Amino acid sequence: MNKKSKIYIAGHNGMVGSAIWRALEKEDYKNLVGKTSKELDLRNQQAVQEFFSKEKPEVVIDAAARVGGILANNDYPYPFLMENMQIQNNLIDSSHKADVQKFIFLGSSCIYPKLAPQPLKEEYLLTGPLEPTNEWYAIAKITGVKACEAIRKQYGKDFVSLMPTNLYGPFDNFDLKTSHVLPAMIRKFHEALSMLSTLETGVDKFEGSVDHAPVTLLGSGTPMREFLYVEDLAEAVVFALENKFTENLYNVGTGEDLTIRELALLIQKIVGHTGEIIWDSTKPDGTPRKLMDVSKMTSAGWKAKTTLEDGIRKTYQWFLENQGEFKEVKID
C-alpha cells in the first residue's frame, strides 16, 4: 500500500474511526480523508455518490454506524436496521462504482447466531437464529458482509470484512441510555464513587469507613463476553490494509472471554468502588456467550496485544480526563 494513497475513513470522529486515523498517521500515511455527519450524510445516496466523484478515494474504511447496547437496540429497532443499511450500502456501492481498490468493512460479532457453537467461527454465519435484542443491527451488518462478498466474488475486487468483538477504549460512548456494557459500568462505578463525598458529610472518618453508593447493573451477570481494546482493532485494520487476504470474512478479537460479573468486579477494582453491586435480573442478558475464534487472523499474522485490565485502566484514565465531553454517539 502506497503511503500517499488517498484513504477515506467513514466515521473518522467515532471511537473506532478516530483510532484507525491515529494508527494510520503513526504508520506515516499522508493522505487521509474524513467528513463529519454535518459535512456528509452517509444515509444520503446522492451526497455519497457526489463525494466519491469529487474526492476519488483509492481506499475506503467503513467505520461508520449507528451503534448502541441492548437497550438502544430494543428501543430503536427501525433506525438500527435502516440507517446502518443506508450507510453501508451507499459506501459499498459508491466504492464499487468509483473503482476503489480496497474496501474494509467493519461489522460486529453479533452477526453470528445466538446459540452458535463456541468459539464463533466465520463459517457459522447464517446457520441459526440471531439474538432478538440486537437482531436489527446484526441483520444490517450481515447485509454489508454479503454485499462485500458478492463484489469480491463477481468482480474480484479486494473488499474484505472484519468482525470485531466487543470494543472499548478512548472516545467510547458513556451515555447510559445507549452505551455498551463496559463503558456503562465505568460511568456507573465512577458516579457511585463520586457520591461518597455526599454520604460522608458530617461523618467522623476515624470511626470507620463508609461504603460507596451501590451500583445497579442490568441482567444476571452470567453471560460471557470478549472485549478488544479499540487501538488493537485499529492495528488490525492497518494490517488488513497492508496485506491481501485470501478470504472475505475475518474475526478480530482476543480469543479470551469472562463473565459480565467478573468484568464488573474488575472495573470496580480499577475505579476504586467499594459499595454493593445489585443485579437487576428482570433486564435481558442477551446472547449467553460470544467468544470469537480468531485463528484465521492469527494465521494471517495479526494478534491483539492489550490485556483487558490494561485496556480498562487506559479507558478509565481517558474518561477522567474528558468528563463532561461524553455524550450519545452520533454518526460521523
Indicate which residues carry an active-site annotation.
137
| Residue 160 near residue 251, CB atoms below 8 Å | no
Q: How far apart are CA 305 and CA 231, in angstroms?
A: 9
Q: What is the DSSP letter of 42?
A: T
C-alpha cell at 49: 455518490
Q: Which residue has the cell 478512548?
A: 170
180 is in an annotated binding site: yes
Q: How far apart are CA 122 and CA 110, in angstroms?
A: 12
- What is the distance, to the nearest Å, from the Cα of residue 320 to the centroid of all Cα atoms in its chain? 21
Burial of 321 (0-12, 13-18, 19+ CB in 10 A): exposed
The helix/strand/coil state of 9 is: strand
Query: HSE (CB half, 13 Å, CA atoms) of 144?
Result: 35
106 is in an annotated binding site: yes
288 is in an annotated binding site: no
261 is in an annotated binding site: no
167 backbone dihedrals φ, ψ, rounded to 5°: -105, 155
94 is in an annotated binding site: no
Angle, CA of 134, 139 and 145, to the nearest 5°: 125
15 is in an annotated binding site: yes
71 is in an annotated binding site: no
166 is in an annotated binding site: yes
165 is in an annotated binding site: yes
3 is in an annotated binding site: no
User: From the CB of residue 85, how many other CB atoms can be counted at a distance below 10 Å?
Assistant: 18
211 is in an annotated binding site: no
85 is in an annotated binding site: no
107 is in an annotated binding site: yes
User: From the CB of residue 27, how many other CB atoms can be counted at a distance below 10 Å?
Assistant: 13
225 is in an annotated binding site: yes
The helix-helix angle for 260-271 and 308-321 (nearest 10°) equals 50
74 is in an annotated binding site: no
C-alpha cell at 263: 468484568
Name the binding residues for substrate. Answer: 188, 225, 285
> Binding site for NADP(+): what residues are annotated?
11-17, 106-109, 141, 164-167, 180
Task: Please give the annotated binding residues, written as ranges.
Answer: 11-17, 106-109, 141, 164-167, 180, 188, 225, 285
